Amino acid sequence: MANAQEPFPLTAYGASGLLARMAISPDHLSIAFTDKTLCTRCGTCAGVCPTGAITMGDDLYPVIDEDACIDCGLCTKTCPGGTVEYKHLTQITFGHDHDTDSFDGHVRETFVGKSTDPEIQARGAGGGIITGLLADLLEHKVVDGCIVTRMKPDQPWRGEAFIARTRTELLQSQGSRYMIIPVNEVFALLRREQGRFALAALPCQMHGYRLMQEACPELAGKIHLAIGLFCGGSLEPEVVTDLLKTKHLGRDDINGFEFRGGEWPGKMRALLKNDTIRDMHYSNYKDGAYNYLISLYMPPRCQTCLDGSGEFSDLSVSDAWTRDREGNYKFKGHSRILVRTERGAKALDDAVEAGAITTICVSDDPSYRTHRIQTRRKGVNAPLRVARLKKAGRAVPTYDRDTPDHTKKDVIKERVISGLIGLSRFPRLRFLVIKFLTSSAAIPLIKLRLVLKKRKYQKLKR
């Protein structure tokens, strides 16, 4: 890190002409300005900046206008990239500092549920539970708007955050978007807004919001409800254009892009201007597509993130992937809901009472307590990666959690996965790999994956 008394070198990070001119202390800036690999690109720094000096660049990393910066330090106080203190976040969220060993974090009750609105249910990735909740909050004027995401109407290969104020706008936000979107930059709009809002955000974005509660209580006070999204890792923004290229399509050929369109669990597909739909992959989201992409397009900071369940939200939502011994989904087209706070419990109860959503309590079912894939990816692989990189002298986030118990097999698996992720450093090679994996030549791999799954559940039946 540069000496605090020296001009702060930002040229390498996209702010041309700043080298040797800026005298802002790096201690007063978010982590992106000293090490981009630690930046989550959550957008919090841009959202809290009182002068608008920080904006998000084309690569979705923050850039700074040195003339507008007043050296207030708010961006560093709210930055979740370089340091994640679970005890501190627990204190802000729950009023105590007792961390939990559970990957799911602090949970009061667990439910599975879906929207009762046929249109919302059909358009949702997991039964439309989040949209159903938000629509109920809007309808009963509990909130005046909802901070959500969508694919940009004028650039449908990119995602954006926006404030949905009507049911129609909420419907635009439906579906999953597994790419980097700096949601928290929308906080800047809230400075000029009156009323209360709901926030649907990923774990890193939730960390930034909670830190904002301390640093900017008046601004944070406008958020009435924080809904967390489970996250296995976001994808670099160029993933969509690369997928289009594998099918010989360009940006100008599409009106929209869906990461989980069509019948549940959904497919990645492009909505073309000639009113046709083009699948990007021969399998569905669950049986291959996302698993391939996350190994090739995972950003550096996602690789060292330990929170996969939105631990510091009022309630968290994930797909209900749990299967029975026959290998069938117990709750197909539903979401799993982890209620964490009293405010989250009230929002859920009110939506159920209003008939907006339907839920089934599964708190006593141990199969719903921990998301197995997420636990392995974020609860074991990521901590091992953090420990290995730190030992090698690489920059990693600072956590107040120890590396979990693990086996030699876990260590080997982490190295193999990290090796695959390393392909992302070579865009041309990455494109060739993804072109193969999304082609008909990869169909045998999909079939093999399904056979292995079937065998796993046959063993469980014995």
CATH number at residue 67: 3.30.70.20
Both 209 and 311 in one domain: the answer is yes
Residue 458 has pLDDT above 70, yes or no: no
Amino acid, res. 346: K
Residue 93 included in any domain: yes
Average pLDDT over residues 293-315: 94
Both 342 and 359 in one domain: the answer is yes
Residue 398 included in any domain: no
Residue 422 included in any domain: no
Domain count, the chain: 2
Residue 95 included in any domain: yes
How far, in Å, CA of 87 to CA of 346, rounded? 25
User: Which of 40, 68, 83 finishes a domain?
Assistant: 83
* Token pair belonging to 394: 């690489």
Both 105 and 43 in one domain: the answer is no
Q: Return the axis-axis angle of helices 408-421 and 290-297, rounded to nearest 10°.
A: 80
Both 124 and 209 in one domain: the answer is yes
The mean pLDDT value of the chain amounts to 89
Both 329 and 348 in one domain: the answer is yes
Say what the pTM is: 0.91
**CA angle, 363 as apex, 360 and 364 as ends, to 5°?**
110
Cis peptide bond N-terminal to 404, omega within 30:
no
How far, in Å, CA of 46 to CA of 64, rounded? 9
**CA angle, 147 as apex, 314 and 214 as ends, to 5°?**
55
Residue 429 included in any domain: no
User: Which of 44, 59, 83 finishes a domain?
Assistant: 83
Both 190 and 72 in one domain: the answer is no
Residue 190's pLDDT is 94
Both 182 and 166 in one domain: the answer is yes
Percent of the chain with pLDDT over 70: 92
Most confident region among 36-40, 96-100, 331-335, 441-445 by mean pLDDT: 36-40
Residue 24's pLDDT is 74
User: Which of 328, 351, 368 finishes a domain?
Assistant: 368
Residue 436 included in any domain: no
Residue 409 included in any domain: no
Average pLDDT over residues 299-327: 90
Instruction: Quickly state the pLDDT bin for 443 (edges 50, 70, 90).
Output: confident
Residue 405 included in any domain: no
Both 327 and 195 in one domain: the answer is yes
* Residues spanned by the domain of 215: 86-234+300-368
Both 95 and 229 in one domain: the answer is yes
Average pLDDT over residues 122-150: 95
Both 115 and 70 in one domain: the answer is no
Residues 232-242: pLDDT tens digits?
Answer: 899 999 999 99
Both 149 and 183 in one domain: the answer is yes
Residue 16's pLDDT is 36
Both 132 and 38 in one domain: the answer is no
How far, in Å, CA of 29 to CA of 76, rounded? 5
How far, in Å, CA of 105 to CA of 309, rounded? 8
Query: Among candidates 66, 64, 52, 62, which has minimal Cα distance to 22?
Result: 66
Residue with tokens 């990189």: 389
Instruction: Quickly state the pLDDT bin for 5 (edges 50, 70, 90).
Output: very low
How far, in Å, CA of 257 to CA of 271, rounded? 6
Residue 227 has pLDDT above 80, yes or no: yes
